[in-house]
Amino acid sequence: MDLTDGMYVNLGIGLPTLVSNFTKPGIRIELQSENGLLGIGPYPMEADVDPDLINAGKETITMIPGSSTFSSADSFAMIRGGHVDMTILGAMEVAANGDLANWIIPGKMVKGMGGAMDLVSSDSRVLVVMEHTAKGGKHKLKQSCGLPLTGARVVNRCITELGVFDFVTTGPEVPPTLIEIAPDTTLDAVKAATGFEFKVAENLKTMLA
């Protein structure tokens, strides 16, 4: 639904890296990693692991025919130049207005902010893929983010195990809209697990299992 033939897509670390294993047959999507690779393939079988081929999360990957490698400088020129159609990221918190927090928890050690700030400010469509709640059932979808922001009003869509939400990132702030719901949950359960008020699409669809 979100990925179409010919798109250039950046995959963040964590859940987003699994996207490379689930692209539809016959659809060519160029998956980009900010450490300098265009044309990421599925995760390798154990016998095919090449330690020199890694993504931004330091995981071993494969390359599809026609792939290319280049410097991080070229990679970020591609991102900042607006040549990436979609960015798929994980998140610690997403706010009702589309604010995103995904790079640091104050007081905890972090290796660096990575490329997320560049990616979400590059005018690419931003898709967040994450678990609906944190440990102990704490809300990750919140009225406002409590953690330092990666970007303000940048999230276009958020997919969790419970549902799919669309966000309005321009003009007056309005509640997100639930457009799909998981087959094994209820609307009341989604509301209880979500920290903001949201609208429900008239043609609410069931997520693919």
- Which residue numbers are catalytic? 34
Q: Cα separation of 137 and 199, whole Å?
A: 22
Of 78, 99, 103, 95, the closest CA to residue 9 belongs to 78
Query: Is-contact 33 10, C-beta < 8 A?
Result: yes
What strands, in cross-sheet order, belong to the sheet with 141-142?
Answer: 100-101, 93-95, 141-142
Beta strands in the chain (DSSP E): 8-11, 30-33, 37-40, 63-69, 86-89, 93-95, 100-101, 125-129, 141-142, 157-159, 163-166, 177-181, 199-206
Q: Cα separation of 62 and 52, whole Å?
A: 10
